Amino acid sequence: MKKKVPKQFQRALWSYDISKMDLEKDKKEIITQVLNYGTWEDVKLLFRLYSEKEIKKVIENPRRGTWFEKVLNFWTLMFNTNLKKEALKKAVFSLKIIEDKYNI
């Protein structure tokens, strides 16, 4: 059964139609986006919906190009986890990569 995403998360999931999202199926995206873009109230709700273990797993296995560097650094410190330099570099959103790719 589909678990609805709270409407409160719409601001963090601004580019998604949350009515089509599922808390379990889309948890990696939801966790990533809320930690990157959410308010403190959003983060508190996130920790009520997902276990620390689930959130830590997303932080330890960051998706490519979806994190702000300072945000990911903060959460790795909060969860006392280390990312390899290459994993961190790939996970961080960077305009430099786009500029280099398209010679901007």
| Closest by Cα among 79, 71, 70, 65 to 36 | 71
Looking at residues 70-88, what average pLDDT do you find?
Answer: 92
Q: Decide which of 99 and 19 is more confident.
A: 19
In 3D, which of 43, 58, 49, 45 has the Cα closest to residue 3?
49
> Across residues 84-100, what is the average pLDDT?
76
Return the number of other C-beta atoms located less than 10 Å from residue 95's C-beta: 8
pLDDT for residue 94:
75
> What pLDDT was estimated at residue 2?
79
Torsion of CA 70, 83, 64, 95, to 10 degrees: 40
